[in-house]
Amino acid sequence: NAGVTQTPKFQVLKTGQSMTLQCAQDMNHNSMYWYRQDPGMGLRLIYYSASEGTTDKGEVPNGYNVSRLNKREFSLRLESAAPSQTSVYFCASSELGGGGQETQYFGPGTRLLVL
Protein backbone atom coordinates (compact mmCIF):
# COMPACT_ATOMS: atom_id res chain seq x y z
CA ASN A 1 0.00 0.00 0.00
CA ALA A 2 1.23 3.48 -0.87
CA GLY A 3 -0.77 5.05 2.00
CA VAL A 4 -1.42 8.73 1.33
CA THR A 5 0.11 10.25 -1.80
CA GLN A 6 0.29 13.91 -2.79
CA THR A 7 1.17 15.70 -6.00
CA PRO A 8 3.07 17.80 -6.75
CA LYS A 9 5.90 17.63 -4.25
CA PHE A 10 6.99 21.20 -4.91
CA GLN A 11 5.42 24.12 -6.77
CA VAL A 12 6.29 27.75 -7.42
CA LEU A 13 3.43 30.10 -8.30
CA LYS A 14 3.13 33.76 -9.08
CA THR A 15 0.62 35.86 -7.17
CA GLY A 16 -2.81 35.44 -8.71
CA GLN A 17 -2.17 32.08 -10.35
CA SER A 18 -4.35 29.10 -9.54
CA MET A 19 -3.48 25.50 -8.88
CA THR A 20 -4.88 22.28 -7.47
CA LEU A 21 -3.09 20.06 -4.99
CA GLN A 22 -3.98 16.41 -5.37
CA CYS A 23 -4.26 13.82 -2.62
CA ALA A 24 -5.18 10.15 -2.76
CA GLN A 25 -5.29 7.35 -0.18
CA ASP A 26 -5.51 3.61 -0.70
CA MET A 27 -6.44 2.60 2.86
CA ASN A 28 -10.22 2.77 2.28
CA HIS A 29 -10.45 5.55 4.87
CA ASN A 30 -13.62 7.55 5.20
CA SER A 31 -12.16 10.86 6.35
CA MET A 32 -9.60 13.09 4.69
CA TYR A 33 -8.00 16.36 5.74
CA TRP A 34 -5.92 19.23 4.41
CA TYR A 35 -3.47 21.01 6.71
CA ARG A 36 -0.92 23.72 6.27
CA GLN A 37 2.28 23.94 8.30
CA ASP A 38 4.12 27.20 8.75
CA PRO A 39 7.24 27.90 10.83
CA GLY A 40 6.30 28.68 14.41
CA MET A 41 2.59 27.99 13.78
CA GLY A 42 2.24 24.24 13.88
CA LEU A 43 -0.22 22.32 11.73
CA ARG A 44 -3.52 24.06 11.04
CA LEU A 45 -6.60 22.45 9.52
CA ILE A 46 -7.83 24.04 6.28
CA TYR A 47 -10.70 21.74 5.28
CA TYR A 48 -11.76 18.22 6.00
CA SER A 49 -14.14 15.63 4.60
CA ALA A 50 -15.69 13.31 7.16
CA SER A 51 -17.03 11.04 4.44
CA GLU A 52 -17.45 10.87 0.70
CA GLY A 53 -19.74 13.67 -0.44
CA THR A 54 -19.19 15.96 2.53
CA THR A 55 -16.69 18.75 3.20
CA ASP A 56 -16.35 21.22 6.05
CA LYS A 57 -14.22 24.21 6.91
CA GLY A 58 -11.39 23.95 9.37
CA GLU A 59 -9.49 26.67 11.16
CA VAL A 60 -8.03 28.51 8.12
CA PRO A 61 -10.27 27.96 5.04
CA ASN A 62 -10.09 31.41 3.45
CA GLY A 63 -8.55 31.40 -0.03
CA TYR A 64 -9.06 27.65 -0.53
CA ASN A 65 -11.65 25.30 -1.96
CA VAL A 66 -11.80 21.51 -1.79
CA SER A 67 -13.38 18.66 -3.68
CA ARG A 68 -13.93 15.14 -2.40
CA LEU A 69 -13.88 13.53 -5.81
CA ASN A 70 -14.55 10.01 -4.50
CA LYS A 71 -13.63 8.00 -1.44
CA ARG A 72 -9.94 7.90 -2.42
CA GLU A 73 -9.30 11.46 -3.58
CA PHE A 74 -9.48 14.86 -1.92
CA SER A 75 -8.15 17.91 -3.76
CA LEU A 76 -7.31 21.40 -2.54
CA ARG A 77 -7.60 24.37 -4.90
CA LEU A 78 -6.07 27.81 -4.65
CA GLU A 79 -8.07 30.04 -6.98
CA SER A 80 -5.82 33.10 -6.75
CA ALA A 81 -2.59 32.40 -4.93
CA ALA A 82 -1.19 34.94 -2.48
CA PRO A 83 2.27 35.10 -0.84
CA SER A 84 0.57 34.37 2.52
CA GLN A 85 -0.27 30.92 1.14
CA THR A 86 3.40 29.99 0.93
CA SER A 87 3.52 26.94 3.14
CA VAL A 88 3.87 23.19 3.33
CA TYR A 89 0.56 21.45 2.70
CA PHE A 90 -0.19 18.04 4.15
CA CYS A 91 -3.07 15.78 3.29
CA ALA A 92 -4.14 13.18 5.84
CA SER A 93 -6.72 10.46 6.19
CA SER A 94 -8.33 8.50 9.01
CA GLU A 95 -10.52 5.47 9.08
CA LEU A 96 -13.74 6.62 10.68
CA GLY A 97 -13.63 10.38 11.21
CA GLY A 98 -15.18 10.12 14.61
CA GLY A 99 -14.33 13.35 16.38
CA GLY A 100 -10.57 13.04 16.32
CA GLN A 101 -10.48 9.77 18.19
CA GLU A 102 -8.24 7.95 15.84
CA THR A 103 -4.90 8.09 14.12
CA GLN A 104 -4.46 10.31 11.11
CA TYR A 105 -2.03 9.20 8.39
CA PHE A 106 -0.22 11.91 6.52
CA GLY A 107 1.05 12.25 2.98
CA PRO A 108 4.60 13.46 2.25
CA GLY A 109 3.51 17.07 1.75
CA THR A 110 3.55 19.69 -0.99
CA ARG A 111 5.91 22.65 -0.62
CA LEU A 112 4.32 25.72 -2.18
CA LEU A 113 6.09 29.00 -2.80
CA VAL A 114 4.03 31.97 -3.98
CA LEU A 115 6.05 34.87 -5.34
Partner 1 sequence: RKEVEQDPGPFNVPEGATVAFNCTYSNSASQSFFWYRQDCRKEPKLLMSVYSSGNEDGRFTAQLNRASQYISLLIRDSKLSDSATYLCVVNNYGGSQGNLIFGKGTKLSVKP
Q: Residue 43, interface with partner 1 (CB under 8 A)?
A: yes
List of residues 6+ apart from 18 with CB closer than 8 A? 77, 78, 79, 80, 81
Work out which of 29, 34, 94, 112 binds partner 1, going by CB under 8 A.
94
Q: Residue 101, interface with partner 1 (CB under 8 A)?
A: yes
Q: How far is the CB of 64 from partner 1 (least distance, A)?
A: 15
Q: What is the size of the binding site for partner 1 (CB under 8 A)?
A: 29
Please provide residue 54's backbone torsions phi and psi, each rounded to the nearest 5 degrees.
Answer: -125, 145
The secondary structure element, H or E, covering residue 92 is: strand 87-94
Work out which of 1, 2, 14, 100 binds partner 1, going by CB under 8 A.
100
Residue 30's nearest CA partner among 90, 97, 76 is 97
Q: Does residue 96 contact residue 89 with C-beta atoms inside 8 Å?
A: no
List of residues 6+ apart from 57 with CB closer than 8 A? 47
Q: Residue 34, interface with partner 1 (CB under 8 A)?
A: no
Work out which of 12, 41, 69, 82 binds partner 1, going by CB under 8 A.
41
Footprint on this chain of partner 1 (rule: CB under 8 A): 31, 33, 40-45, 48, 50, 56-59, 90, 94, 97-109
